Structure 1
Amino acid sequence: MAIFRAHARRRRNRLRLDGWIAGIGTSSGARVVVGHWERTPFGPFSDVMLERRDGHRLLLAPTAQTARFIAGTYTFDEVRVAPVGVDARGGAWTVTASSLRLSFTLGHRGAVGWLLRAVPGPLAARPAWAAAVALPARLLLGARTCGSAGRDRYEWYGAKDLHPVSTATVRYEGEDLGSLAPVEPPVRFGFGSTPRGPCLVRVTTTVAMGNEPALTCLAHP
């Protein structure tokens, strides 16, 4: 069941980011997570998180400001400030960031995507909704919709759409990382991983910082 806890604390700031998250695994064991954010307090930007086969966790962010925010919310072994470009044309995406090159194509929206689209956008973006659907998301997708990565920050992911990734090619520092594969093992940047199946998710992410009454959730399968 899902257990919700309200903590009586002084109010803290909440930041909201609206955009897309892609999670992709490779046959070499490397996993890539791309954030493509259309609306944020920092303006539009994209970032890349890469966990190599040896477990090394790398963040590529376009500015020092976005790098500080992301590295203050998640955990990395290395942070680089570098331009991150995303070219999204229909179902074909190309991502370039430092020495990483990623191309992927999307498959047709499945049942989960249609279910997510059926939820009104304003409702799906609310932290309370992310907490309420924590257990179904974990059972269906193997993903967490809310939790804390530490550093006195708490997050809620409000998913609004989902497309499977059907093909992908990833090169890092000139090396081909292999064919498309499940996101296994789960990435270790924060409190949870992306869905096991490679996919692109339309999402509103809310990040609470400091102390405030916060709705948190613990999902027990």
Structure 2
Amino acid sequence: MRQMTSLTGTATAGSTAARRLIFDGHIAGFGTTEGTRIVVGRWRSSPLGSFTDVMVERADGLRVLLAPRDDVAELVAGTYAFDAVHVVPVGLRTDEGRRRWRLRAGPLTADLSLGARTRIGHLLLAVPRHRAVAPLVATAADPFARVLLDGVRTRGTAGQGSREWYVASDQHAVTAVRALWGSADLGALAPVEPPVRFGFSSVPAAPTVTRVRTVIEMSAGRTRPGH
């Protein structure tokens, strides 16, 4: 495990225009009876290519980012808040018709079982997914997310003056998990309670995997991912 020592870069002189970065993939959120809550981002398409990153909030409140590369660590840690950032091998594969996720990320081992599409997932199938309208869709959905999903926001302000929008288009339940931190068993599947504190939004309290498009509008001073 290698700890990141520098999370910020310097802006390029003369940069004035904000830039929007688009990430397409899935976010899994689940808790454990030991008290650890975990958020997995499985990004099939992004400005940094395909990658998986893991945000962990331990039972004592320690917020840890597990990232596969320095560029991913810099971008994610520059957008969200963590107490520790580690660059470690991160691998995620799916089995049995994508109904099982097998995650290995440094000290974390997690095997997830996915179930049926949720009620919200059925509704999300009708959400427009065109990239050009993503911020508008997220803005329109935000008041409903606040009411229906405690702790969940679909738009807000991210780190270093950035803005962010989430557009979900499908969702499946997580029905079971086997998770270890090192050799310590984290216990059975549990809700994400209390909400995680990495950014302006948590994931749903009910353990789920959500298909999502994330748009990050970087401030003028950040001219490339992670800077």
TM normalised by structure 1 equals 0.88
| Percent of matched pairs sharing the same residue | 47
The Cα of 1:149 is off from its aligned counterpart by 2.9
Aligned to 1:30: 36
- 1:54 and 1:125 map into 2 onto residues whose CA distance is 39
Q: 138, 141, 146: which one pairs with 1:138?
A: 146
In structure 1, which of residues 172, 188, 192 is the aligned counterpart of residue 201 of structure 2?
Answer: 192
Is this contact kept in 2: 1:127–1:206, CA < 8 A? yes
Q: Give 1:119's aligned amino acid.
A: V
Match of 1:97?
105
Match of 2:216 in 1: 207
Q: Does 1:170 align with 2:176?
A: no
Q: Hey, what does 1:5 align to over in structure 2?
A: none
Say if 1:28 and 1:53, in contact at 8 Å, map to a contact too: yes
Amino acid at match of 2:33: S
- 1:71: how far off? 0.2
Specify the alignment match of 2:117 in structure 1: 109
1:72–1:151 Cα contact (<8 Å) kept: yes
- SS of corresponding position for 1:114: helix
* Equivalent pair of 2:128/2:137 in contact (CA under 8 Å): no
Runs of 4+ in 1 over 3 A off after TM superposition: none
SS at 1:67 equivalent = helix
CA distance in 1, matches of 2:193, 2:77: 22
After TM superposition, the structure 1 stretch with the greater mean CA deviation from structure 2, 15-24 or 138-147, is: 138-147
Conserved in 2, the CA contact under 8 Å of 1:148 and 1:191? yes
Q: Which residue of 1 aligns with 2:225?
A: none
Decide whether the 8 Å contact of 1:45 with 1:62 is kept in 2. yes
Q: Secondary structure at the match of 2:156?
A: strand
Q: Give unmatched runs, 5+ long, in structure 2.
A: 1-15, 222-227
**Residues 65-91 of structure 1 deviation map (CA, whole Å, 9 limit, x = unaligned):** 010000000010100111110112221
Q: Matched residues in 2 for 1:175 and 1:153: separation? A: 37
Match of 2:20 in 1: 14
The whole-number CA distance in structure 1 between the counterparts of 2:123 and 2:178 is: 29
Match of 1:218 in 2: none
CA distance in 2, matches of 1:119, 1:208: 21
| Residue ranges of structure 1 left out of the alignment (5+ in a row) | 1-9, 213-221
Match for residue 128 of structure 2 among 114, 120, 124: 120
Once the two structures are superposed, residues 104-129 of structure 1 have per-residue CA deviations (whole angstroms, 9 ceiling, x without a partner) of: 11111122101101223217961111
Contact kept? 2:127, 2:168, Cα under 8 Å: no
* TM-superposed deviation, 1:147: 0.7
* Aligned length in residues: 203
